[in-house]
Amino acid sequence: MVDAEEPLQCQVHRWGAMRAVIDGPLPDIASRFSKFLANAYPHDAIVIFTRDCTGRPRKVAGAPEIVDRTTIEELENIEQDVVLGGFVDETRALGGIERRVWAFRDVGDTLLILVPHRSRSGDVDPTTIAALFGIVATSIRQQVAQASPDYLAESRAASSERARTITELTEAHEATLASILATLRSNDLDDRRSRITASETASVALIALRSASDADRTLAEEAVTTAFARLQGELRPLLRSRDMAVAVDYIEPPADGRALPGEVAHAARAMVRAIVLAFGAQPVLDRVRIAWDCDGDNVLIEVRDHGPGALDSVALERQLSGRLRTLHGDLQIESLVGWGSRAALRIPLDPPTTRPDEHLVAMLNPREIEVLAHLGAGKRNRTIADELGISPSTIKFHVASVLRKLGVSNRGEAGAIGVRAGIVPDGG
């Protein structure tokens, strides 16, 4: 950790660099952490494995021949041999080859694997790396729990692409293996033993293929009842922190309701937490009713009370707008003085058909998306600044960032991408 004898300037630089590791896009956090550790702990590859990130449970950096071939099964095999808060230094299969690995398992059940450079010999003191990784793991969990629009967009895009790829591979393998089985079961073949052996091999391969697909769904989805139970656990400390007790009526979703994609489950819980906090900001709150349902295509959420009807609807809509826009959901808020308040969410379980250039827009943060929407409307910096309530110089900075991320050279090209992706100003 921090050496008391180390000059203060060096300590400031070190922790400033650590801040840069956690203060950036979640998909690239392994690359930033790898660079942070490179001088003190030379390594060929780094893998962060977390079930919290349903879109991309693996965050990787380093040699492609290692990270591109590392499987979830290999990571799970290593994980089960490392206790929570523990560390191992041993040879394990990673990327299809036995390698020396340093494996750290954070108390929050996030796994870090480093493949030390061959020039690195001897033992390693795991205390410092474990402490630093604890900061990284906590940052990942917080970003996922907050379900920011950036995280949701990246996770949904990754989930959609993975699901499409798995479906294509499954169909192709099933067709091939079914053809093998049909051929081997034909009466035209005389070698009975070879037919039996080949049939058993193909059957096992089919089962393994389908099991792999089931395992992936387990990582990528949450049962709707599980998601609702986790919500209750997350709300309990929030409601207990109030000066007066709040009674909560939980209306559970149907047990046979469709499973939720991970990013939808995270977003739903984050938005309900925000709604409950907004309800709690009223002068009086004695009872809240929270109901979840699923109609097969959407998760349907309703939060209502019988309070004074003093809910700040405008602030709540603004707070939830980024997540709702990203997941193409909608929100209805009703608040009548003396009668109470109601907030109803509808979040689609399936991503909409991807519009042209939507993958580019997913790289932008919420403020940059707002700026892009105004560029698509042909507005100048001064007008955008006035409407967003920030300075023209800040708008200039955001415009430059938008052009860089979209890979275009002028405002018109950026605006056209925004229009094609369906990005329009609020109220537009």
| pTM, two decimal places | 0.56
Encoded amino acid at 200, one letter:
E
Q: Which pair of tokens denotes residue 275? A: 């709604």
Q: What's residue 321's pLDDT?
A: 87
Q: What's residue 10's pLDDT?
A: 60
Alpha helices in 85-243 (DSSP H): 126-146, 149-184, 192-220, 224-240
pLDDT band at residue 341, thresholds of 50, 70 and 90? very high
Quick one: average pLDDT of 352-360?
62
Q: At what angle do helices 149-184 and 192-220 cross, to 10 degrees?
A: 170
pLDDT at 301 over 90: yes
Quickly tell me which residue has 């387990």 as its tokens: 218
pLDDT at 81 over 60: yes
The answer for residues whose C-beta is within 8 angstroms of residue 198's C-beta and 6 or more apart is 180, 184
Range in 9-23, 29-43, 161-175, 357-371 the model is least confident about: 161-175
Are 198 and 206 spatial neighbours (Cβ–Cβ below 8 Å)?
Answer: no
pLDDT at 166 over 80: no
pLDDT band at residue 4, thresholds of 50, 70 and 90? very low
pLDDT at 278 over 70: yes
pLDDT at 179 over 80: no
pLDDT band at residue 174, thresholds of 50, 70 and 90? low
Q: Going edge to edge, which strands form the sheet with 111-116?
A: 58-62, 43-49, 111-116, 97-105, 87-94
pLDDT at 351 over 60: yes
Q: Cα–Cα distance between 56 and 48 in angstroms, integer? A: 10
Q: What's residue 146's pLDDT?
A: 77
Quick one: average pLDDT of 108-129?
83
pLDDT at 169 over 90: no
Q: What's residue 152's pLDDT?
A: 74
Quick one: average pLDDT of 208-222?
59
Q: Which pair of tokens denotes residue 12? A: 């400031």
Q: What's residue 173's pLDDT?
A: 64
87-94/97-105 β-pairing: antiparallel
What's the whole-number average pLDDT of the chain?
Answer: 81
Quick one: average pLDDT of 197-201?
66
pLDDT band at residue 124, thresholds of 50, 70 and 90? confident
In order of 99, 134, 167, the CA distances from 94 in angstroms are 7, 23, 25
pLDDT band at residue 186, thresholds of 50, 70 and 90? low
Quick one: average pLDDT of 278-304?
91
Q: What's residue 246's pLDDT?
A: 79
Q: What's residue 19's pLDDT?
A: 86
Q: Cα–Cα distance between 401 and 393 in angstroms, integer? A: 13
The answer for residues whose C-beta is within 8 angstroms of residue 321's C-beta and 6 or more apart is 426
